[in-house]
Copies of this chain bind each other. A is one copy, B any other.
Amino acid sequence: MGEVVKLKRGDLRDALIDYALEATKEGHIEVMSLRQAARDLGVSSGAVYRHFADKDSLLMEIVRIGFFDIRERFYAIRPEDAVAKTKSEAIDRCFRLGRTYIMFAFENNALWHMMFGRVGMMCREEVMQDPELRRYTPFDVCRELTFDLHRVGLLEREPTLADVRYQWSATHGAADLAQSGARQDHEQLDQVIDDTVRRNLLAVGLDLDKI
């Protein structure tokens, strides 16, 4: 890699974040070492600690970025107060939401685990203090989307929180499996995603085959 470019004084913080992000993408984040990072960036190991109190702080920054990333994607699908106008739009959004969540896990394997796995637990709680992240969370999007189904006339009864929880949970499971175990190809994954969303909807009382 072209890490040979001597980085300017003051750029280390961003460089470290990029480095960790890169490591995350390549999947070896849990064995990343600050010393090696410093070496790769052509800087002394102590310099790192000018910018991050400890290793966890750097990882936390990565987790934070991940949560902002996923938040943005979810927000793009169902912005705050933007109720679906038609039935087909409501359904389409459900599929896009499921696909987004599952694909995020599939593509961001290592980051996903820092965000939702046990290791990043304290990170997550810390990161989630951020008021901006607490305002309209992915779970909120999921909830509103489910209520949209009712608003738009696809669900007769008003949904409950249990409906939302189940959808979230089932999608989470599909995401976790898509990423962890079965190294399935994209085609297969596409099918799984579709199937998952269809059944999620069925589980809250919306049978897509009957409309």
Query: Using a CB–CB distance below 8 Å, which chain A residues touch chain B?
Result: 30, 109-110, 113, 116-119, 121, 124, 162, 165-166, 168-177, 179-181, 192, 195-196, 199-200, 202-204
Contact = CB atoms under 8 A, between A and B. Distances in A.
Main secondary structure of the interface of A (DSSP, over half): helix
Task: State the 5 A-B residue pairs at the shortest beta-carbon distance, nearest first.
Answer: A173-B173, A170-B170, A199-B203, A172-B173, A169-B173
Report copies per complex.
2
7 contacts: A113-B118, A170-B173, A170-B199, A173-B173, A173-B175, A173-B176, A203-B203
Contacts of A119: 30, 113, 117, 119
Nearest to A119: B30
B116 A162 contact: no
A49 to B, nearest CB: 21
Contacts of A116: 176, 180-181
Contacts of A199: 166, 170, 203-204
A174 B169 CA distance: 5
